[in-house]
Amino acid sequence: MRYPVLVLSVVFLLAGCREEVQEEPVPAPTPSVEDKQAVEQDQTSLLSYFPPDGSVASFQGEGNEFASFTLKTTYLDTQHIVQIEDNGGVTLLKIYRITDTSIDLVYREPVDSNPSMPSAAEAASYPVLETVLQKPLQVGTSFQGWTIESTTATVDTGTTVYQDVIQLSRSEDQMTTTKYFAKDIGLIRKEDTMETEQDEPFVVTSTLQKIE
């Protein structure tokens, strides 16, 4: 009888060892730097892609006399941002609505040099005209013809070098428009590239020079 008891003891011991091995936790894979940046950007409030309230940004243009402009920013509230764009030829009043997932243009009209501001309640009633930026802020995200091409671009404006810039583009007919957005600043550069019959394309750029 001693041998069967011994055999059973060994069987139970081996079974216990197998259970202990199976219960060992499998370590989770370490996320890459790109994955961490994507998660951080997706958790970022889209409000951070606008200039500070009350600021005036100046853009230098090349390729067209109206590519230079100033951009005055006013916050109606944390969901509605007004920007007055003046390129010396026309003054545009633009209103943007910020949601958890997108920045939407809801108003765009030419105005005089000192326009009156709508209330936040009025702005909340405006329909969406165009989506400017949309989550997830990841390469490949597409909306209304726009595609995010990079979230880690480096842009040298001539006065400042910006890191981790969101780059998105849209092509229509022979025109490709590329925009660059930096956190806590918003738009820092816009490029319009038109294919021509010449060897070189025709390019118009507007680049942020200062913000006050």
Which tens digits make up the pLDDT trace of 171-211?
998 999 999 999 999 999 999 999 988 888 999 999 999 99
CA–CA gap between residue 180 and residue 182 (Å, rounded): 7
Of residues 113 and 33, more confidence is placed in 113
| pLDDT tens column, 19-28 | 444 455 555 5
- What's residue 31's pLDDT? 54
Is pTM beyond 0.85? Reply is no
Please give the mean pLDDT across all residues of the chain.
87
Contacts of 189 (CB under 8 A, 6+ apart): 155, 157, 179, 180, 205, 206, 207, 208
Burial 22-57 (b: 16+ CB within 10 A, else e): eeeeeeeeeeeeeeebbeebeeeebeebbbeeeeeb
152 vs 7: which has the higher pLDDT: 152
CA neighbor of 149 nearest in space, from 159, 157, 161, 141: 141
Collect all residues with Cβ–Cβ distance below 8 Å to 111 and sequence separation of at least 6: 84, 91, 92, 93
Pick 18 or 130 by higher pLDDT: 130
pLDDT-based confidence at 97, cuts 50/70/90? Answer: very high
Contacts 24+ apart (CB under 8 A), 91-94: 91/115
For residue 145, pLDDT beyond 50: yes
pLDDT score of 119: 96
Instruction: Work out the average pLDDT over 86-91.
Output: 96
The mean per-residue pLDDT over the stretch 44-52 comes to 95
Q: pLDDT of 99-135, one tens digit each?
A: 999 999 999 999 998 899 999 999 999 999 999 999 9
Q: Which domains does the chain have, with CATH numbers?
A: 33-211 (2.40.360)
Could you tell me the end-to-end alpha-carbon distance of the chain, in angstroms, rounded to an integer?
Answer: 94
pLDDT for res 113: 82
